[in-house]
Homo-oligomer: A and B are copies of this chain.
Amino acid sequence: MVEITRKQREIQQRTQDILRVAKPILLSEGFQALTMDRVAASMQYAKGTIYNHFPNKEEIVLALAIEAMRLRHKLFDKAAAGQRSARIRLMTIGVACEFYTQSCPEEFQVEQWMRNSNIWGKSSPDRQAVIRECEAGCMQIVASLVRESLAQGDLPAIEHLSPEEMVFGLWAITFGSQILTASSPSLHSIGIFDPIRSTRIHCCRLLNGFGWQPLHSIDEYLGTVEQISAEFYPQFKQIQREHR
Protein backbone atom coordinates (compact mmCIF):
# COMPACT_ATOMS: atom_id res chain seq x y z
CA MET A 1 0.00 0.00 0.00
CA VAL A 2 2.83 2.35 0.80
CA GLU A 3 4.68 0.63 -2.00
CA ILE A 4 6.29 3.29 -4.07
CA THR A 5 8.25 2.39 -7.13
CA ARG A 6 11.53 4.00 -7.92
CA LYS A 7 9.83 5.73 -10.81
CA GLN A 8 7.19 7.23 -8.58
CA ARG A 9 9.83 8.43 -6.18
CA GLU A 10 11.74 10.06 -8.99
CA ILE A 11 8.62 11.84 -10.11
CA GLN A 12 7.85 13.09 -6.63
CA GLN A 13 11.42 14.23 -6.31
CA ARG A 14 11.16 16.17 -9.53
CA THR A 15 8.00 17.86 -8.37
CA GLN A 16 10.05 19.08 -5.43
CA ASP A 17 12.88 20.11 -7.71
CA ILE A 18 10.47 22.18 -9.77
CA LEU A 19 9.33 24.00 -6.66
CA ARG A 20 12.93 24.60 -5.61
CA VAL A 21 13.65 26.14 -8.98
CA ALA A 22 10.43 28.14 -9.16
CA LYS A 23 10.59 29.66 -5.70
CA PRO A 24 13.58 31.95 -6.14
CA ILE A 25 12.33 33.08 -9.52
CA LEU A 26 8.93 33.91 -8.09
CA LEU A 27 10.31 35.68 -5.07
CA SER A 28 13.05 37.69 -6.64
CA GLU A 29 11.44 38.57 -9.94
CA GLY A 30 7.74 38.17 -9.41
CA PHE A 31 4.92 36.19 -10.87
CA GLN A 32 5.48 37.55 -14.37
CA ALA A 33 9.00 36.21 -14.44
CA LEU A 34 7.91 32.73 -13.47
CA THR A 35 7.41 31.08 -16.84
CA MET A 36 7.14 27.43 -17.59
CA ASP A 37 9.76 27.76 -20.31
CA ARG A 38 12.18 29.25 -17.86
CA VAL A 39 11.57 26.63 -15.20
CA ALA A 40 12.02 23.92 -17.81
CA ALA A 41 15.19 25.46 -19.16
CA SER A 42 16.64 25.87 -15.67
CA MET A 43 16.18 22.18 -15.07
CA GLN A 44 17.10 21.05 -18.57
CA TYR A 45 13.75 19.45 -19.10
CA ALA A 46 11.28 20.13 -21.85
CA LYS A 47 8.31 22.29 -21.05
CA GLY A 48 5.91 19.43 -21.51
CA THR A 49 7.54 17.56 -18.66
CA ILE A 50 6.86 20.44 -16.30
CA TYR A 51 3.26 20.36 -17.44
CA ASN A 52 3.12 16.73 -16.36
CA HIS A 53 3.63 17.95 -12.82
CA PHE A 54 1.68 21.21 -12.77
CA PRO A 55 -1.12 22.06 -15.18
CA ASN A 56 -0.27 25.76 -15.03
CA LYS A 57 1.97 28.14 -13.23
CA GLU A 58 -0.68 29.18 -10.78
CA GLU A 59 -0.57 25.66 -9.40
CA ILE A 60 3.12 26.05 -8.75
CA VAL A 61 2.40 29.14 -6.71
CA LEU A 62 -0.29 27.34 -4.77
CA ALA A 63 2.01 24.40 -4.16
CA LEU A 64 4.55 26.83 -2.73
CA ALA A 65 1.79 28.40 -0.66
CA ILE A 66 0.94 25.00 0.76
CA GLU A 67 4.56 24.54 1.82
CA ALA A 68 4.48 27.99 3.38
CA MET A 69 1.30 27.31 5.30
CA ARG A 70 2.60 23.96 6.47
CA LEU A 71 5.59 25.76 7.88
CA ARG A 72 3.31 28.24 9.57
CA HIS A 73 1.23 25.41 10.95
CA LYS A 74 4.33 23.73 12.31
CA LEU A 75 5.46 26.91 14.00
CA PHE A 76 2.03 27.30 15.56
CA ASP A 77 2.11 23.72 16.78
CA LYS A 78 5.46 24.15 18.44
CA ALA A 79 4.39 27.41 19.98
CA ALA A 80 1.19 25.94 21.38
CA ALA A 81 2.95 22.94 22.89
CA GLY A 82 4.48 22.86 26.33
CA GLN A 83 3.38 23.21 29.88
CA ARG A 84 2.98 26.91 30.24
CA SER A 85 -0.27 28.74 30.66
CA ALA A 86 -2.53 29.07 27.68
CA ARG A 87 -2.06 32.83 27.71
CA ILE A 88 1.71 32.45 27.45
CA ARG A 89 1.35 29.85 24.73
CA LEU A 90 -0.96 32.18 22.86
CA MET A 91 1.63 34.91 23.12
CA THR A 92 4.14 32.42 21.81
CA ILE A 93 1.97 31.96 18.75
CA GLY A 94 2.00 35.72 18.32
CA VAL A 95 5.77 35.63 18.43
CA ALA A 96 5.70 32.78 15.94
CA CYS A 97 3.70 35.01 13.58
CA GLU A 98 6.25 37.75 13.92
CA PHE A 99 9.06 35.33 13.39
CA TYR A 100 7.38 33.86 10.35
CA THR A 101 6.74 37.21 8.71
CA GLN A 102 10.16 38.56 9.56
CA SER A 103 12.47 35.72 8.92
CA CYS A 104 10.52 33.82 6.33
CA PRO A 105 9.44 36.82 4.28
CA GLU A 106 9.39 34.67 1.19
CA GLU A 107 6.83 32.31 2.61
CA PHE A 108 4.79 35.22 3.88
CA GLN A 109 4.92 36.79 0.44
CA VAL A 110 3.76 33.57 -1.19
CA GLU A 111 0.81 33.41 1.19
CA GLN A 112 -0.21 36.84 -0.01
CA TRP A 113 0.12 35.83 -3.61
CA MET A 114 -2.09 32.87 -3.02
CA ARG A 115 -4.86 35.18 -1.78
CA ASN A 116 -4.77 36.94 -5.13
CA SER A 117 -7.91 35.91 -6.92
CA ASN A 118 -6.12 35.49 -10.24
CA ILE A 119 -4.06 32.72 -8.77
CA TRP A 120 -6.65 31.24 -6.46
CA GLY A 121 -9.24 31.10 -9.19
CA LYS A 122 -7.02 29.19 -11.59
CA SER A 123 -5.84 26.54 -9.20
CA SER A 124 -7.25 23.11 -8.53
CA PRO A 125 -9.89 22.38 -5.90
CA ASP A 126 -7.58 19.80 -4.36
CA ARG A 127 -4.85 22.24 -3.55
CA GLN A 128 -7.43 24.79 -2.48
CA ALA A 129 -8.77 22.29 -0.01
CA VAL A 130 -5.32 21.67 1.43
CA ILE A 131 -4.88 25.40 1.94
CA ARG A 132 -8.23 25.70 3.63
CA GLU A 133 -7.44 22.82 5.96
CA CYS A 134 -4.13 24.34 6.83
CA GLU A 135 -5.64 27.72 7.56
CA ALA A 136 -8.41 26.20 9.61
CA GLY A 137 -5.83 24.10 11.42
CA CYS A 138 -3.87 27.18 12.44
CA MET A 139 -7.03 28.80 13.70
CA GLN A 140 -8.00 25.69 15.61
CA ILE A 141 -4.75 25.75 17.48
CA VAL A 142 -5.51 29.24 18.68
CA ALA A 143 -9.13 28.42 19.34
CA SER A 144 -8.25 25.45 21.51
CA LEU A 145 -6.01 27.65 23.65
CA VAL A 146 -8.94 29.99 24.10
CA ARG A 147 -11.23 27.12 25.02
CA GLU A 148 -8.66 25.71 27.38
CA SER A 149 -8.45 29.00 29.24
CA LEU A 150 -12.20 29.30 29.36
CA ALA A 151 -12.39 25.82 30.86
CA GLN A 152 -9.70 26.58 33.41
CA GLY A 153 -11.25 29.85 34.42
CA ASP A 154 -8.35 32.09 33.36
CA LEU A 155 -10.55 33.61 30.74
CA PRO A 156 -14.09 34.68 31.57
CA ALA A 157 -16.85 34.03 29.09
CA ILE A 158 -17.71 37.29 27.45
CA GLU A 159 -21.21 38.22 26.61
CA HIS A 160 -21.70 38.84 22.88
CA LEU A 161 -18.36 37.29 21.98
CA SER A 162 -17.80 33.63 21.28
CA PRO A 163 -14.34 32.05 21.66
CA GLU A 164 -14.10 31.88 17.89
CA GLU A 165 -14.76 35.56 17.66
CA MET A 166 -11.93 36.23 20.07
CA VAL A 167 -9.66 34.26 17.76
CA PHE A 168 -10.97 36.28 14.86
CA GLY A 169 -10.06 39.51 16.63
CA LEU A 170 -6.53 38.39 17.39
CA TRP A 171 -6.12 37.05 13.92
CA ALA A 172 -7.45 40.20 12.28
CA ILE A 173 -5.22 42.56 14.19
CA THR A 174 -2.11 40.46 13.71
CA PHE A 175 -2.76 39.76 10.09
CA GLY A 176 -3.97 43.29 9.35
CA SER A 177 -0.90 44.81 10.95
CA GLN A 178 1.42 42.58 9.01
CA ILE A 179 -0.25 43.22 5.69
CA LEU A 180 -0.25 46.94 6.29
CA THR A 181 3.37 46.85 7.35
CA ALA A 182 4.29 44.97 4.22
CA SER A 183 2.25 46.93 1.72
CA SER A 184 1.39 50.38 2.99
CA PRO A 185 3.99 52.83 1.95
CA SER A 186 2.36 55.61 3.91
CA LEU A 187 2.79 53.93 7.29
CA HIS A 188 6.08 55.59 8.01
CA SER A 189 4.90 58.96 6.82
CA ILE A 190 1.96 58.89 9.18
CA GLY A 191 4.23 58.24 12.13
CA ILE A 192 4.29 54.48 12.66
CA PHE A 193 7.93 53.68 13.03
CA ASP A 194 7.82 50.37 14.85
CA PRO A 195 4.73 48.49 13.73
CA ILE A 196 5.81 45.27 15.44
CA ARG A 197 5.89 46.97 18.81
CA SER A 198 2.55 48.62 18.11
CA THR A 199 1.05 45.30 17.19
CA ARG A 200 2.35 43.68 20.35
CA ILE A 201 0.83 46.43 22.44
CA HIS A 202 -2.53 46.09 20.73
CA CYS A 203 -2.50 42.34 21.27
CA CYS A 204 -1.66 42.85 24.93
CA ARG A 205 -4.51 45.30 25.31
CA LEU A 206 -6.83 42.93 23.51
CA LEU A 207 -5.93 40.03 25.80
CA ASN A 208 -6.19 42.19 28.91
CA GLY A 209 -9.45 43.51 27.55
CA PHE A 210 -10.79 39.97 27.38
CA GLY A 211 -9.92 39.71 31.06
CA TRP A 212 -7.49 36.94 30.29
CA GLN A 213 -5.60 36.21 33.54
CA PRO A 214 -2.97 36.99 34.51
CA LEU A 215 -3.26 40.52 33.16
CA HIS A 216 0.02 42.03 32.02
CA SER A 217 1.18 45.58 32.09
CA ILE A 218 2.54 46.67 28.74
CA ASP A 219 6.07 46.54 30.06
CA GLU A 220 5.59 43.04 31.42
CA TYR A 221 4.04 41.92 28.19
CA LEU A 222 6.78 43.36 26.00
CA GLY A 223 9.39 41.86 28.27
CA THR A 224 7.77 38.45 28.19
CA VAL A 225 7.47 38.58 24.43
CA GLU A 226 11.16 39.36 24.19
CA GLN A 227 11.94 36.41 26.43
CA ILE A 228 9.80 34.07 24.39
CA SER A 229 11.38 35.36 21.24
CA ALA A 230 14.89 34.80 22.56
CA GLU A 231 13.99 31.36 23.80
CA PHE A 232 12.13 30.04 20.78
CA TYR A 233 13.98 31.84 18.05
CA PRO A 234 17.47 32.57 19.33
CA GLN A 235 18.57 33.20 15.79
CA PHE A 236 15.77 35.71 15.30
CA LYS A 237 17.69 38.88 16.12
CA GLN A 238 20.41 37.86 13.80
CA ILE A 239 18.04 37.12 10.98
CA GLN A 240 16.18 40.29 11.73
CA ARG A 241 19.34 42.23 11.16
CA GLU A 242 20.12 40.36 8.01
CA HIS A 243 16.82 41.38 6.55
CA ARG A 244 17.15 44.92 7.97
Contact = CB atoms under 8 A, between A and B. Distances in A.
Interface of A: 30-32, 109, 115-118, 120-121, 128, 132-133, 135-136, 139-140, 143, 159-162, 164-165, 167-169, 171-177, 179-180, 183-187, 189-192, 195, 198-199, 201-202, 205-206, 208-209, 218-219
Given A116-B116, A132-B185, A136-B189, A121 B195 contact: no
A169 B186 contact: no
B198 A169 contact: yes
Contacts of A190: 136, 139-140, 143, 164, 167
7 smallest CB-CB distances across A and B, nearest first, come from A176-B176, A172-B176, A164-B191, A136-B186, A172-B177, A169-B202, A135-B186
A199 B166 CA distance: 10
Q: How many copies of this chain does the complex contain? A: 2
A209 B209 CA distance: 7
A198 B135 contact: no
A136 to B, nearest CB: 4
Contacts of A32: 118
A192 to B, nearest CB: 5
